[in-house]
A and B are shown apart, each in its own frame.
Chain A
Amino acid sequence: MTDPLREAPPGLEWTPLSPNYERMKHLLVLGVWGTWGILVAIVCGIWAPMWAVGLTVVVFAAWIVYRYRRIRRMVAAWGYAEGPTELFIRRGLLMRSLTVVPYGRMQVVEVESGPIERHFGLTTVRLVTASAETDAEVPGLADAAAASLRDRITEKGENQAGGL
């Protein structure tokens, strides 16, 4: 039984994201959920009995551990494969999805990198078509890999332009 959502298209390999992306996600999970946990604990400490603070800390700690351990698999689930005529992007653990975009349909290739991403040397590549429903983005690529991916798919897009 082949699972089209997991297995690479025939003759292709999934290219994984940069290992730095995993590191960034680890940091983000600790930072974001840790901050929320501390805030909620402080609020509880002011207006609620002590056991509520303890409960908050335990719940948030458990959640953070769960998210933290999950990140490796989530990042591993992301991947893209460059076919000769289209780009495949897979992602998701719980909600899995596979998006296929023919190069000829691309209108724009967006490359962007926020401050945290820049710190880790990461870049997001996004493909824009004439459809608003197309959700084709590859986050967490190393800068050089993103630039070369962008150049490759732009060139293929020019050669195979399908227009509207």
Chain B
Amino acid sequence: MTAPEPPREAPDAWLPPAPQRAQSEPAGTPSFPPPAVDPGRPPQRAEPPVATPPPVPSAPSPAPHPPSFVPSAQYPAPSSPSAQYPAPSSPPPSSAPYPVPAPLPAPASEPPALPAAEHPHPASPLVRGWITLVAIVVILAHNVTDASQGLHAAGVLRLVALAAIVVVLSMALGFVRWRTTWFLISDTELRIERRFIVHSVDRIPFTRIQSVNVVQPFAARLLGLAALRIDVGAKSGHTIEFLPRSRAYRMRDYLLARAHGTATTLSEAAALPQADAWHDRAVHDEVVFKVRLTDLIITAVLSPGFLISLAWVVLAVVLGVAAQGSPFVVLVGGALPAVLGAAETVNRRVLTQVNFELTRSERGVRAAKGLTSLTSESLPIDRIQGIAVHQNILWRPFGLYQVRMDVLGSRREKEDSIGTMLVPAGRLDAVQAALGAIWPQTDLLALDWHGVPRRARWLCWIGPGTQRFAEDDFLVATRGGVLLHRIDLVPHARVQSVSIDQGPLQRRLRLATLAIHTSPGAVHWTRRWMEPEDAGLLCHGEVEQCRRAAAMTNRRSRAASQDPDTVF
């Protein structure tokens, strides 16, 4: 990591003329002019949080209030060699309020103990511009069908000019954003700083990381770049846009190792065998599941969204013909929205899931997918809060299932439901393989499934016999449903709370409903039609098991991690 990365020298090529900047200086030297000279750099840079000493727990405060103004070079922190920032001409260290361990060395004379914060890759604005361009083209394509009547040459020209302006603006914005973004991934911390309009410093404790995504939009893929998205369980994740692809993969592996509680360093992580740049697959990674295009198409075509759209189209055409309306009205008024809806379903269920590949690596699972843009989401196994297996009744003849997992704070992707995809479309063996890769201690088919009492038929007329329940040392499971057959799996260690409910009719029949609450997502674990006594026993037993499992994982993660972040 100490070796200067190519992107760190590249910025100069993309900057406006900055004659003060020595092009060939090594990364550790104070190559920056005094802050006031550089317009791209806010004046606060003189005391940036970059230089905040790690012992201060509230590091993210962007403007710490030191007893007196201290140029950052005087901070005794090992990160002080963020020598890019302090002005070389700043006042000499005379009255340092902090105990300075030794006469402060000139920043250039010693190699930095930590890599300084750096900008993302300088080509990032280009990618943003490209994404904007694609968005404009898509919007135009959506609207051009309506507007095509009154379109003439001048109009087209105006549209193109408008689009060009928007793209240039977005690239300019992207450039400013790139110039005002810093990130730091080191052995001790992960930090992202933004100083555009809103100044923010996000310091992310390693142990709080829930999942790490590497996202490559098409343009980024062409340029060999990738965005790093770090999910910490809050609603929005943290994004670093963009890094060179191989670096993004390396950082991903490193962050995952730290999230897992493994004490490792960047240089150790860099020495590990790396993922192949094109397939994102390390040598000893094992492919668990690969989706088949035909399965994806079947699940999409036989999904409620698609069928409703199709029925709507047929209805519109039939009604239109019956009423002898003009074909144009029929098409635009009735059929077109439905066709767009169907296309949306296909896009969501097929195009975004193409090439889906589930990989089991040493430290977790990784789901990679995408046709033009490539997304790969990685997470440690113990971050999975629950798994839901769904089978639409129409998929049953084909034996197809869909499997989702819940991860804290995972972004709500535009899938038809929430949760992160584990198997977008696959047969039973695929489901078993995926589950086996994640929770090898449990075999879905070998579980001891219990049914419901016969008297439940009075309340549940359709398919009470499909309701099943099972549990083992590791998880609790329910399954059931006719139109949508679903299996919900929750490990004991991930149970948040348990409740028993009983309505008046249930009480008459001496039945009760047990519900297990987990973090929000695809999993909804309820077991209806239980004997109340069983529900009571199970409830108490479950809470007991949940407590024990949680205590165990807690001890393990505490023991495994010497990360100072654990105290958070």
8 Å CB contact of A162 from B383, B517, B524, B550: B550
Q: Kindly state whether residue B444 has any CB partner on chain A within 8 Å.
A: no
Q: Kindly state whether residue B347 has any CB partner on chain A within 8 Å.
A: no
Q: Kindly state whether residue B535 has any CB partner on chain A within 8 Å.
A: yes
Are A130 and B519 within 8 A (Cβ)?
yes
How far is it, in angstroms, between the C-alpha of A161 and the C-alpha of B553 when the chains are bound?
A: 11
A134: min CB distance to chain B, Å: 4
How far is it, in angstroms, between the C-alpha of A1 and the C-alpha of B531 when the chains are bound?
A: 11
Q: Kindly state whether residue B554 has any CB partner on chain A within 8 Å.
A: yes
Are B408 and A160 within 8 A (Cβ)?
no
B136: min CB distance to chain A, Å: 37
B253: min CB distance to chain A, Å: 22
Are B497 and A96 within 8 A (Cβ)?
no
A113: min CB distance to chain B, Å: 24
| Residues of chain B with a CB closer than 8 A to A102's CB | 497, 543, 546-547, 550
Q: If A86-B543, A130-B519 touch, does A98 touch B551 (CB 8 Å cutoff)?
A: no
Q: Kindly state whether residue A114 has any CB partner on chain B within 8 Å.
A: no
| Nearest chain A residue, comparing its CB with the CB of B539 | A100
Looking at chain A's contact residues, is the secondary structure mostly helix, strand, loop, or mixed? loop
Within A87-110, the residues touching B (CB, 8 Å) are: 94-102, 104-105
How far is it, in angstroms, between the C-alpha of A95 and the C-alpha of B536 when the chains are bound?
A: 16
How far is it, in angstroms, between the C-alpha of A101 and the C-alpha of B540 when the chains are bound?
A: 11
| Residues of chain B with a CB closer than 8 A to A94's CB | 503-504
Are A5 and B497 within 8 A (Cβ)?
no
How far is it, in angstroms, between the C-alpha of A160 and the C-alpha of B520 when the chains are bound?
A: 23
Within B500-515, the residues touching A (CB, 8 Å) are: 500-504, 507, 512, 515
Are A98 and B499 within 8 A (Cβ)?
yes
How far is it, in angstroms, between the C-alpha of A104 and the C-alpha of B545 when the chains are bound?
A: 13
| Residues of chain A with a CB closer than 8 A to B546's CB | 102, 105, 162
How far is it, in angstroms, between the C-alpha of A42 and the C-alpha of B406 when the chains are bound?
A: 54
How far is it, in angstroms, between the C-alpha of A134 and the C-alpha of B110 when the chains are bound?
A: 55
B507: min CB distance to chain A, Å: 7
How far is it, in angstroms, between the C-alpha of A99 and the C-alpha of B540 when the chains are bound?
A: 11
Are A164 and B233 within 8 A (Cβ)?
yes
Q: Kindly state whether residue B498 has any CB partner on chain A within 8 Å.
A: yes
A100: min CB distance to chain B, Å: 5
Are B519 and A131 within 8 A (Cβ)?
yes
Are A129 and B512 within 8 A (Cβ)?
no
Q: Kindly state whether residue A115 has any CB partner on chain B within 8 Å.
A: no
| Nearest chain A residue, comparing its CB with the CB of B507 | A96
Are B501 and A97 within 8 A (Cβ)?
yes
| Residues of chain A with a CB closer than 8 A to B496's CB | 101, 105, 129-131, 133-134
How far is it, in angstroms, between the C-alpha of A53 and the C-alpha of B561 when the chains are bound?
A: 73
Q: Kindly state whether residue B532 has any CB partner on chain A within 8 Å.
A: yes
Q: If A102-B543, A162-B551, A164-B519 touch, does A129 touch B536 (CB 8 Å cutoff)?
A: no
Are B512 and A161 within 8 A (Cβ)?
no
Q: Kindly state whether residue B533 has any CB partner on chain A within 8 Å.
A: yes
How far is it, in angstroms, between the C-alpha of A104 and the C-alpha of B512 when the chains are bound?
A: 26
| Nearest chain B residue, comparing its CB with the CB of A2 | B533
| Residues of chain B with a CB closer than 8 A to A5's CB | 500, 502, 512, 532, 536
Q: Kindly state whether residue B216 has any CB partner on chain A within 8 Å.
A: no
Q: Mark A58-100, 1 if CB is under 8 A from B, else 0.
A: 0000000000000000000000000001100000001111111
8 Å CB contact of A96 from B493, B502, B518, B539: B502
Counting chain B CB atoms within 10 Å of each CB, the highest count among A98, A101, A132, A135 belongs to A98
How far is it, in angstroms, between the C-alpha of A98 and the C-alpha of B502 when the chains are bound?
A: 9
Q: Kindly state whether residue A49 has any CB partner on chain B within 8 Å.
A: no
Counting chain A CB atoms within 10 Å of each CB, the highest count among B383, B498, B537 belongs to B498
Are A104 and B536 within 8 A (Cβ)?
no
8 Å CB contact of B498 from A1, A96, A100, A104: A100
How far is it, in angstroms, between the C-alpha of A3 and the C-alpha of B533 when the chains are bound?
A: 7
Q: If A102-B550, A162-B551, A164-B519 touch, does A4 touch B497 (CB 8 Å cutoff)?
A: no
Within B522-568, the residues touching A (CB, 8 Å) are: 524, 532-533, 535-537, 539-540, 543-544, 546-547, 550-551, 553-554, 557
Are B233 and A4 within 8 A (Cβ)?
no
Are B497 and A164 within 8 A (Cβ)?
no
Are A130 and B408 within 8 A (Cβ)?
yes
8 Å CB contact of A134 from B494, B517, B540: B517
8 Å CB contact of A133 from B515, B533, B547, B553: B515
Counting chain A CB atoms within 10 Å of each CB, the highest count among B502, B512, B533, B540 belongs to B502
8 Å CB contact of B497 from A9, A100, A160, A161: A100
How far is it, in angstroms, between the C-alpha of A99 and the C-alpha of B537 when the chains are bound?
A: 13
B353: min CB distance to chain A, Å: 27
| Residues of chain A with a CB closer than 8 A to B539's CB | 4, 98, 100
Within B242-292, the residues touching A (CB, 8 Å) are: none
How far is it, in angstroms, between the C-alpha of A105 and the C-alpha of B551 when the chains are bound?
A: 11
| Nearest chain A residue, comparing its CB with the CB of B520 | A132
Q: If A4-B539, A131-B519, A133-B515 touch, does A104 touch B497 (CB 8 Å cutoff)?
A: no
How far is it, in angstroms, between the C-alpha of A162 and the C-alpha of B548 when the chains are bound?
A: 9
Are B500 and A97 within 8 A (Cβ)?
yes
| Residues of chain B with a CB closer than 8 A to A105's CB | 495-497, 546, 550
Are A85 and B547 within 8 A (Cβ)?
yes
8 Å CB contact of B547 from A3, A86, A131, A136: A86
How far is it, in angstroms, between the C-alpha of A162 and the C-alpha of B547 when the chains are bound?
A: 7
| Residues of chain B with a CB closer than 8 A to A164's CB | 233, 383, 385, 408, 494, 519
How far is it, in angstroms, between the C-alpha of A102 and the C-alpha of B517 when the chains are bound?
A: 12
Are A160 and B547 within 8 A (Cβ)?
yes
Q: Mark B93-136, 1 if CB is under 8 A from A, else 0.
A: 00000000000000000000000000000000000000000000
Are B554 and A162 within 8 A (Cβ)?
yes
A132: min CB distance to chain B, Å: 5
Are B504 and A136 within 8 A (Cβ)?
no
Q: If A130-B519, A134-B517, A135-B499 touch, does A2 touch B547 (CB 8 Å cutoff)?
A: no
How far is it, in angstroms, between the C-alpha of A135 and the C-alpha of B385 when the chains are bound?
A: 19
Are B533 and A160 within 8 A (Cβ)?
no
Task: List 11 A-B pairs, Cβ < 8 Å.
Answer: A4-B500, A5-B502, A96-B507, A98-B536, A98-B539, A99-B497, A105-B546, A132-B520, A160-B547, A160-B551, A164-B494
Question: Which 4 pairs between the two chains have the least Cβ-Cβ distance?
Answer: A4-B536, A162-B550, A131-B496, A131-B517
A5-B500, A160-B547 are known; give 20 further A-B pairs, CB within 8 A. Answer: A4-B532, A4-B537, A4-B539, A5-B536, A86-B543, A94-B503, A95-B501, A99-B499, A100-B497, A101-B496, A102-B543, A104-B550, A105-B546, A129-B517, A133-B496, A163-B554, A164-B233, A164-B383, A164-B408, A164-B494
